[in-house]
């Protein structure tokens, strides 16, 4: 059906020309104002060949169809076809509340997951796997996910990372989709939604920081040099002002003014407040306990209790602050007159939330962080076996957590440790796990005679070296089951070794090989390269064990297409 036939078909099902008012075209969407909504046959319209979605709201009909192409577009995107298939088989644009992406997955929040056609998607070239977790319908793409995501937004005329209305505009406080979810799913969704957008830059800053530590250790760049100082401003600055960044992402997640969220983060990082902890101590609370905190100033006579390092590089205080600021802002928008709403809402929100954060939220968050640090410190402190137990558990189950998206719940623990004690040992055992998975895949590449398997496994191996293991998991090891179990066993042993030796990371870094520099202690009087050597040994253990066990046990299916 060509465009002319489609337009005539739409007009007929919209009640005829006499029922149609204004018509507007925007890319692949047609907007039609109708006089009598009862004359529109939506059900039949949605069944018309080429129609992706059709909705009628407030007397306005919106039809999205493949035939409505932008005339000025000289050539279609490389991934347009895949994007259309994905949109159609998640139930159409009308079934999408929001779409975002991580390193390898498109993450949809759907109004009704039963409308999605998982079997068709998993059989589509370019789609590795479909997962349902944490209220999200996740389509695993692999390394091309960014390009496919852009194509999905372009083809579907969707807003990036947020719910949209019938005109494609963001919905403030709209339904997040996914149906009823448990508290764990909600928590994981919040954590991933807030921290995930920062991971690329967070990793980039971590890589620079790790490389500077490496260059300094070998005497290639002096810490007093201008070169070191300029690059360190990049490497450390992102972590130092992390509350400002998280203020923005948390505000987007909680559907409030992003700049108000940033302003709260700025107040937590304001130099005068940070430097106040170097002044005269006016008093101390919880003295003699692990939660001891001093105060150096008062607000309206009430002590402002702060950790010694202030709230720079912190994670929990800003998230809690924005979580409480969001409902306050929404209430203020309802009660304050429109004529002064633009500036009074931010004024009142900030005037209330910043003092509340310093007086209540910050101290509570500090106590919670201290409790978490104590719990995991206690596990590691179990004589002889603490590190082994913790490392083995993380190494064994990290990939399982990744599959279900639950690993996001552990990331903030490392960020808390970086902010409070300057390093993290809790998550270090996870590092060797991706290499266990990767070298299991290498064994399959060398052992298999199935050309199709080799074509999938070889790119997955290369991707795995740089820490992106979803293609390996979903395309190779998980379908075969035994290789996946072997990778978990190898990761368990490598993780146990890492935990036993007490390897520490000193910041968030890149994935795979790019993540090694963060295990170098930047303190000239610290451990130097000890942790990186431990990590390299753990990687070797996990990789060799995974490779050998797989090479000795792997067998192709009975019927394969041989090379």
* DSSP for residue 225: S
Confidence of residue 488 (pLDDT cuts 50, 70, 90): very high
pLDDT per position as a tens digit, 10-26: 888 888 877 787 676 65
The pLDDT value recorded for residue 177 is: 43
- CA 538, CA 223: separation in Å to the nearest integer? 30
* DSSP for residue 473: I
Confidence of residue 290 (pLDDT cuts 50, 70, 90): low
pLDDT per position as a tens digit, 221-260: 888 899 989 998 988 888 889 899 999 999 988 889 999 9
Residue 540 CB-half CA count within 13 A: 6
The residues, any chain, with a CB within 8 Å of residue 467's CB and separated by 6 or more, are: 434, 510, 511, 512, 513, 514, 515
The pLDDT value recorded for residue 70 is: 45
Output the DSSP codes for 107-143.
Answer: EEEES-GGG--HHHHHTSTT--EEEEETTEEEEE--T
Instruction: Give yes or no for residue 385 having a pLDDT over 90.
Output: no
- CA 356, CA 488: separation in Å to the nearest integer? 45
Instruction: Give yes or no for residue 168 having a pLDDT over 80.
Output: no
Instruction: Give yes or no for residue 197 having a pLDDT over 60.
Output: yes
The pLDDT value recorded for residue 409 is: 61
pLDDT per position as a tens digit, 334-370: 999 888 988 999 999 999 999 999 999 888 887 777 7
The pLDDT value recorded for residue 77 is: 59
The pLDDT value recorded for residue 164 is: 35
Range in 220-234, 312-326, 512-526 the model is least confident about: 512-526
Which comes out higher in pLDDT, residue 410 or 349? 349
- CA 260, CA 219: separation in Å to the nearest integer? 44
Q: Which helix (H) or strand (E) holds 299?
A: strand 293-299
**3-state SS, residue 467:** coil
- CA 275, CA 290: separation in Å to the nearest integer? 23
Confidence of residue 498 (pLDDT cuts 50, 70, 90): very high
Instruction: Give yes or no for residue 542 having a pLDDT over 90.
Output: yes
The pLDDT value recorded for residue 222 is: 86
pLDDT (mean) for 513-536? 87
- CA 400, CA 473: separation in Å to the nearest integer? 10
pLDDT (mean) for 454-475? 81
- Cα 304 to its chain centre, rounded Å, is 33
The pLDDT value recorded for residue 330 is: 92
- CA 160, CA 417: separation in Å to the nearest integer? 32
pTM of the model: 0.59
- Cα 339 to its chain centre, rounded Å, is 38
- CA 472, CA 456: separation in Å to the nearest integer? 8
The pLDDT value recorded for residue 424 is: 87
Instruction: Give yes or no for residue 76 having a pLDDT over 60.
Output: no
Instruction: Give yes or no for residue 64 having a pLDDT over 60.
Output: yes
Instruction: Give yes or no for residue 552 having a pLDDT over 90.
Output: yes
Helix pair angle (482-501, 386-403), 10° resolution: 140
Closest CA to 408 of 143, 138, 165: 138
Range in 45-59, 106-120, 181-195, 275-289 the model is least confident about: 181-195
Domains observed in the chain: 3-65 (3.30.1360.60), 80-180 (3.30.1360.60), 241-356 (no CATH), 386-553 (no CATH)
CA dist 143 → 132, 146, 274 (Å): 20, 8, 41
The residues, any chain, with a CB within 8 Å of residue 27's CB and separated by 6 or more, are: 68, 69, 70, 154, 157
Give the percent of the chain with pLDDT over 90: 27
Range in 22-31, 337-346, 477-486 the model is least confident about: 22-31
pLDDT (mean) for 532-549? 95
Please answer whether residues 440 and 222 qualify as being in contact, where contact means their C-beta atoms are separated by less than 8 angstroms.
no
């Amino acid at each position: 059906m060509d465009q002319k036939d489609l337009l005539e078909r739409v007009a007929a099902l919209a009640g005829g020309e006499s029922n149609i008012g204004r018509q507007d075209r925007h890319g692949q969407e047609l907007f039609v104002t109708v006089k009598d909504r009862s004359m529109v046959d939506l059900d039949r319209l949605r069944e018309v060949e080429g129609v992706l979605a059709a909705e009628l709201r407030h007397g306005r009909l919106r039809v999205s169809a493949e035939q409505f192409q932008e005339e000025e577009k000289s050539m279609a995107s490389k991934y347009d076809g895949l994007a259309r298939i994905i949109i159609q088989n998640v139930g159409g644009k009308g079934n999408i509340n929001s779409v975002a992406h991580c390193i390898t997955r498109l993450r949809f929040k759907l109004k009704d997951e039963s409308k999605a056609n998982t079997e068709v998607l998993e059989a589509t070239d370019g789609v590795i796997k479909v997962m349902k977790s944490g209220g999200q319908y996740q389509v695993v793409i692999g390394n091309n996910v960014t390009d496919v995501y852009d194509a999905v937004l372009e083809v579907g005329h969707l807003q990036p990372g947020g719910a949209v209305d019938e005109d494609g505009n963001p919905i403030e406080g709209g339904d997040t989709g996914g149906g009823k979810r448990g508290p764990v799913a909600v928590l994981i969704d919040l954590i991933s939604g807030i921290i995930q957008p920062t991971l690329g830059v967070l990793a980039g800053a971590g890589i620079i920081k790790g490389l500077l530590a490496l260059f300094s250790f070998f005497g290639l760049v002096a810490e007093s040099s201008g070169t070191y100082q300029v690059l360190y401003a990049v490497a450390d600055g992102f972590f130092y002002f992390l509350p400002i960044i998280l203020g923005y992402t948390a505000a987007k997640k909680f559907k409030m003014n992003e700049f108000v969220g940033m302003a709260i983060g700025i107040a937590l990082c304001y130099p005068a407040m940070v430097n106040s902890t170097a002044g005269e101590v006016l008093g101390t609370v919880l003295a003699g306990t692990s939660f001891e905190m001093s105060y150096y100033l008062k607000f309206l006579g009430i002590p402002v209790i702060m950790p010694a390092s202030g709230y720079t590089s912190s994670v929990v205080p800003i998230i809690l602050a924005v979580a409480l600021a969001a409902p306050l802002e929404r209430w203020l928008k309802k009660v304050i007159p429109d004529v002064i709403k633009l500036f009074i809402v931010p004024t009142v929100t900030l005037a209330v939330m910043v003092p509340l954060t310093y007086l209540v939220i910050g101290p509570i968050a500090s106590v919670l962080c201290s409790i978490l640090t104590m719990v995991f410190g206690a596990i590691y402190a179990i004589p002889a076996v603490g590190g082994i137990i913790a490392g083995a558990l993380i190494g064994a189950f990290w990939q399982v957590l990744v599959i279900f998206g639950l690993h996001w719940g552990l990331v903030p623990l490392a960020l808390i440790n970086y902010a409070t004690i300057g390093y993290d040992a809790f998550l270090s055992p996870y590092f060797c796990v991706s290499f266990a998975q990767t070298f299991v895949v290498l064994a399959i590449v060398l052992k298999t005679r199935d050309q199709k398997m080799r074509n999938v496994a070889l790119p997955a191996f290369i991707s795995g070296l740089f820490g992106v293991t979803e293609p390996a998991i979903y395309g190779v090891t998980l379908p075969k089951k035994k290789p996946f179990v072997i990778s978990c066993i190898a990761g368990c042993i490598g993780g146990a070794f890492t935990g036993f030796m007490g390897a520490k990371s000193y910041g968030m870094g890149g994935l795979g090989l790019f993540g090694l520099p963060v295990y170098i202690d930047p303190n000239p009087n610290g451990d130097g390269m000890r942790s990186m050597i431990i990590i390299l040994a753990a990687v070797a253990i996990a990789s060799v064990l995974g490779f050998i066990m797989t090479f000795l046990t792997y067998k192709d299916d009975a019927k394969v297409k041989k090379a």
